Amino acid sequence: MHVQPRIKVAILDTGIDIGHPSIKARIERIKDVRTWVNDLGGKQDRKTGDSSGHGTHIADLLLDVAPDSDIYIARIAKFSPTEPVQIAKAIDHAVAEWQVDIISMSFGFPDENDELSKAILNAHAHNILMFAAASNDGAHGLLPAFPARHHSVFCIYASDGMGNSIRGNPTARQHNYNFSTLGEAVNSAWPCNLSEKPWKVRKSGTSFSTPIAAGLAAVVLFYAQTIMPPEDSLKFKQYDKMRNMFHHMSVLRAGYNFLLPMSNYFDGKQKEEVIRAVMKGIASGSPVKA
């Protein structure tokens, strides 16, 4: 029996509490933990943990949303990221050494950075899908943060469970896809030394919708390789093909493209047959309307 390759996802964040019960129960899926904090240059680091909690919350979310994925942790900050050059090095490592399929980045800067842009373009050239948080500054941020506003990165906004935009989202951009997914009161793991049993907290914002969107992309990639030959399934690693798939998985709501899981969006439409038709259409360049 042929076993499908698992999807590889890199999380660039504040680390991970690998002793947390929810993480520990799935520790075999945490393939590597490395740090770029304090110029450590990607040193292996399973002991430092997570001083913030942010990275642990995101890692646990991805483990939940994308069960057929393996996770690679790049610790690029203790709390808020401040060094774009170190983040660029982490991206380069994710491309060259981990050879991931997806990179999740729940952070943003007001200004662009040349080194970080170069690393993003290199990842894009290797057909690695990148997701970044739009920001939580509302209309005060005239544009989404960087790298979310980079043309090779999926800019992810946050919604409530009904698909409504949450407070703090930047204004939806015209002539763009403004993909959003759940980012309000999202329940996930928090480091044991920073929380009380059962060591989970609810958080809101685009930081927490971003890994969910990345997880949905991982599900699409895994499903594509189960129903398609490699020459077609690999096309979904391309930014434009995944963007088109997300378009079919979303509903337009007040300027935002609210993403739904495939099982929800296609429910009641002879689900499997429609998904196959849409994916094959996207792969061939002529998507079928669902």
Q: Tell me, letter by letter, the H, E, C secondary structure of 7-23.
A: EEEEEEECCCCCCCHHH
Which residue matches tokens 């090779």?
Answer: 152
Dihedral Cα 158, 285, 129, 168, nearest 10 deg = -20
Assess contact for 176 and 246: CB atoms under 8 A. no
Q: What is d(CA 212, CA 104) in angstroms, rounded to the nearest whole number?
A: 9
Q: What is d(CA 224, CA 279) in angstroms, rounded to the nearest whole number?
A: 7
104 has catalytic annotation = no
13 has catalytic annotation = yes
Handedness of CA 58, 62, 64, 69 (dihedral sign): negative
Q: What is d(CA 72, CA 195) in angstroms, rounded to the nearest whole number?
A: 24
Other Cβ atoms less than 10 A from the Cβ of 243: the count is 15
Query: Strand 43-44 relative to strand 30-35: parallel, antiparallel, unpaired?
Result: antiparallel
Catalytic residue among 22, 104, 135, 207: 207
51 has catalytic annotation = no
CA distances from 243 to 42, 179, 237, 283, 287 (A): 31, 9, 10, 12, 12
Catalytic residue among 22, 45, 54, 104: 54
Which residue matches tokens 């499903």?
Answer: 223
Which amino acid, 38?
A: N
Catalytic residues: 13, 54, 207
